[in-house]
Amino acid sequence: MSNNLLAIYDSIISKQSFVEIQQCNEETLEYGLKLSEEDIKDVIDTRSEALSSSGRVEFGGGIIKKIISAFCDSSYISQYHYAETLNDLIETFYYYKNETIERVSDDELIEVMKDYFNHKCQGSMELLKYKYLDGMASNIRFGVKDYLKVDDCEELEEEEE
Amino acid sequence: MDNYIINREENLKGLLSEEHYFQSLLQVLYSNELLNKMELEKIQIQVLDMLTEKITYYTKDESSSVRVELAEQIMLSIYYIIGIFMKSIPSIKESIAVLKGKSLRDIFKQGEEMIKEKVEKCKKLFKQVQVNKLETTNYAYVDTIDYGFSMFFIDYDIRFASHIAPCSIDYQLSDGDIKMTGVEYIEAYLNILRLENSFCSCFDMIEIEGLLRNFNRNSQHMLINIYEFVLTNYLGVILIEKRGRSLNITKKERAYLKGRIKNLSELELEKLFMLSSETLFKELSIEDEELMKYINKAILKLIPGIKNAIETNTLENTFITINTAEDNIIKYQDGESLDDSKFKSITEEIRACSKIEDKMKIIRDELHSLQDLVDVLGADCIFDEEFIYIFKGLEDFELALLLKYLPSNESMDSDYGTESEKEWHEKLKEYLGTLDDLKKDEIMSISEGIEI
């Protein structure tokens, strides 16, 4: 019964998300970015799949909107691959919510992703996921206080070698 | 017609689950068209609102998503709290009126208050149980009362996991089929334990301990129910028309008892036992109706077992003779054990010796307690045939004491203990096997007469 109810909830959130994302287009148009209805459906599906594959359930929604707002001004995102990047970012977000064992809030994770993406990764999703976010997640799991320092750990390892 | 409807509604009560009361109530009402789809959805949306609010509290509004397991747990907790209140409503008809007329949030609040009251009630019940605790050596019983519940009163989480009772309960009740969870489980368990304690406290504790020991010498390590043993034997005492509060049934008395009941059918046994329970209540001056009901329930449960014991000729395990010879047991008072650092240095010294004669000398000179000797044997400092040399150098009484540490086949499995412990157990058995029968029997009989 509880599972059914959670599924109902997910469908309600998905419906709300559609309108929310449509409204985001007004904000992103300033940066030359726009999602078509088809793109929006894709993004919503990605969110549902990402939640399900990471074994999570979302209450209140609003994450897609936050990700769009945070990344729309990135110089590494163009209309050409906007939808694709957005889908990737959503998947990455939920994956690392689990990997960071709930120690990082939604806002902090989005902020960190944005910072890495725009600076150290220079728009590379691969670097963002497999180097920086992985490094950060592993720092968190091993109790490293300054878990955002991913480069430094690697440099230290190289120096030791 | 009205009567028919009332009866139909009230019959549905039997379909409700004690454990998942609210969920089953919704299902039953919906499937019997006492709640329509819109009404059900309205309730579900209210549950989701409450769930969202709880999750926000849980994540301190820092995360909009949580793991599914956590969301389900919090949802079950909400259902449980609402269920507690709904259970208190006497009829299905009134339950429907409440669900349709009241907001779920109000029901939830009332449920929360009821749970808080139940926790307070449990605290009082637990105090009573602690005060009336039986002076038994049964490990599961002692451990459950001394440590098993403390966790509950510290860790019970009404906000997010009200349906889970964090506790460590090993002791099995006679009527242990409690189909409840959370604080309701603790309340029901403590209530039954209070009744069982109250019954057992009518008897001499030394006799109860003797009864359990005669059932099995390792009864203190077994997951048994003390109340059932006491009740069965006392029922036997009543059946042979003995009076007083002694639990003992002699061999002759058991034979008489067997003659009295062996040809009775289950129905006749039931009649006889119910008559005997009346005598039992009078004899023990039991007036507590709840306890009387509980005893009668347990007595009826005994019938198939007793029938089976008659058929298999094993009535001596049901109506137990308390062997007074057991009382002549010598209680061994162990010497003073070494402190940890001294013990460590001695085991290192033994390990460093190349000759077994030197090892034996250190053991003789430095160890003054049985526990230290046992610890040394299992401390990886004596190896292979050295054990046999050590055992040869011990007195019969010392060997008899060591025998007490061997796991018995009946209650312990052969894997009990660490590898090095198992090694000396095996070597001791091997050494005993090399002794002549007379010597072996002597050591065994000394061992049986000692309690450590």
Residues 1-30 of B with CB under 8 A from A: 23, 26-27
CA distance B204 to B248: 11
Q: What local confidence, expressed as pLDDT, does residue A130 receive?
A: 93
CA distance B231 to B28: 40
A154 vs chain B: nearest CA distance in angstroms? Answer: 30
CA distance B155 to B431: 51
- Prediction ipTM score: 0.85
Taking the Cβ of residue A58 and every Cβ of chain B, the question of whether any pair is shorter than 8 Å is answered with yes
What phi, psi does B201 have (nearest 5°)? -70, -5
Select from B48, B62, B64 the Cβ nearest to the Cβ of A58: B64
- Chain A residue at shortest CA distance from B72: A2
| Cβ neighbours around B407 below 10 Å, total | 17
Closest C-alpha among B179, B152, B182, B151 to residue B164: B182
Taking the Cβ of residue B75 and every Cβ of chain A, the question of whether any pair is shorter than 8 Å is answered with yes
Q: What local confidence, expressed as pLDDT, does residue B328 receive?
A: 60
Taking the Cβ of residue A11 and every Cβ of chain B, the question of whether any pair is shorter than 8 Å is answered with no
Q: What local confidence, expressed as pLDDT, does residue B140 receive?
A: 95
Contacts of B59 in chain A (CB under 8 A): 102
Handedness of CA A69, A75, A76, A80 (dihedral sign): positive
> For B62-210, where are the E strands, in sequence order?
65-67
CA distance B425 to B427: 6
The SS3 of residue A57 is strand
Q: What local confidence, expressed as pLDDT, does residue B7 receive?
A: 64
Crossing angle (nearest 10°) for helices A2-28 and A63-71: 30
Q: What local confidence, expressed as pLDDT, does residue B1 receive?
A: 46
Select from B64, B72, B75 the Cβ nearest to the Cβ of A61: B64
Q: Which residues contact B92 (CB under 8 A, 6 or more apart)?
A: B9, B10, B12, B13, B29, B34
User: Whole-prediction pTM value?
Assistant: 0.76
User: Rounded to whole angstroms, what are the CA distances from A141 to B20, B65, B66, B280?
Assistant: 37, 20, 18, 63
Select from B65, B75, B76 the Cβ nearest to the Cβ of A97: B65
Contact call for B62 and A51, based on CB within 8 A:
no
Contacts of B67 in chain A (CB under 8 A): 55-57, 98
Amino acid identity for residue B289 in this structure: E
Q: What local confidence, expressed as pLDDT, does residue B45 receive?
A: 86
Handedness of CA B4, B5, B10, B14 (dihedral sign): positive
Question: Could you tell me the mean pLDDT of each successive run of 10 residues in chain B, 452 residues long?
Answer: 58 86 92 89 89 92 91 94 95 91 94 96 95 93 93 94 94 90 95 95 92 88 94 93 88 89 88 92 93 94 90 89 68 82 90 88 86 87 87 86 73 62 86 86 80 72
On the CB side of B278, CA atoms within 13 Å amount to: 5
Dig out the tokens for B59 from the structure. 């994540």
Q: Which residues contact A56 (CB under 8 A, 6 or more apart)?
A: A94, A97, A98, B65, B66, B67, B68
Contact call for A59 and B27, based on CB within 8 A:
no
CA distance B140 to B146: 10
Preferred mutation among B51, B63, B80 to probe A, highest tally of A CBs within 10 A: B63
- Chain B residue at shortest CA distance from A1: B23
Taking the Cβ of residue A143 and every Cβ of chain B, the question of whether any pair is shorter than 8 Å is answered with no
On the CB side of B353, CA atoms within 13 Å amount to: 19
- Do the beta carbons of residue B342 and residue B236 sit within 8 Å? no
DSSP B185-233: HHHHHHHHHHHHHHHHTTS-HHHHHHHHHHH-TTGGGS---HHHHHHHH
Collect the ranges in chain A with pLDDT lower than 50: 1
Contact call for A97 and B44, based on CB within 8 A:
no
